[in-house]
Amino acid sequence: MPQPLASDIILQQLRQFDPDAVEEAREFRGEISLYIRKGRLRSACEFLRDAPGLNFKYLSDVTAVDLFPNEPRFEVVYHLLSLESFRRLRLKVRVPGDDPRVNSVVPVWPGANAFEREVFDLLGIRFEGHPNLSRILMPEDWEGHPLRKDYPTTGYR
């Protein structure tokens, strides 16, 4: 049975660690989404992984959303799980379309390697500090990023 771990406790502990890390917090159906400032992502992830009582040691997915034509254009989304409390946490980072880059979380969760490569390949978001940021699904000579909303449905010709 999951231990009760209120979303406000997670937010309170993260804000005590770094008052400027969280831009916004939203809760829906008992799950919390924290919007993390781009420059604070890695330190916030390390804190969430290591903090007693939180222990979000499992990164289950990294994905991204293209909000074109809105700006910031992208949201990179990290799905975390605490194996102690069985609580889930979603982190989101807003990334501008003119310079789509964010720090890699591979040093925090090595399993992020393939997830970040997939987001890079399909949406063109660069992960700074990634050990091997290269295409993983599309051929190396492929032009563009096919999950971007402005990518032509017939491809480039």
Q: Which residues of the chain have pLDDT under 50?
A: 1-5
What's residue 157's pLDDT?
63
pTM for the predicted model, two decimal places? 0.91
* Residues 6 or more apart whose Cβ sits within 8 Å of residue 3: 84, 85, 86, 87
Q: Give the CATH superfamily of 7-128.
A: NADH:ubiquinone oxidoreductase Nqo5 subunit (3.30.460.80)
What's residue 153's pLDDT?
78
Q: Name the residue among 45, 46, 52, 54 with its Cα closest to residue 77.
A: 45
What's residue 152's pLDDT?
84
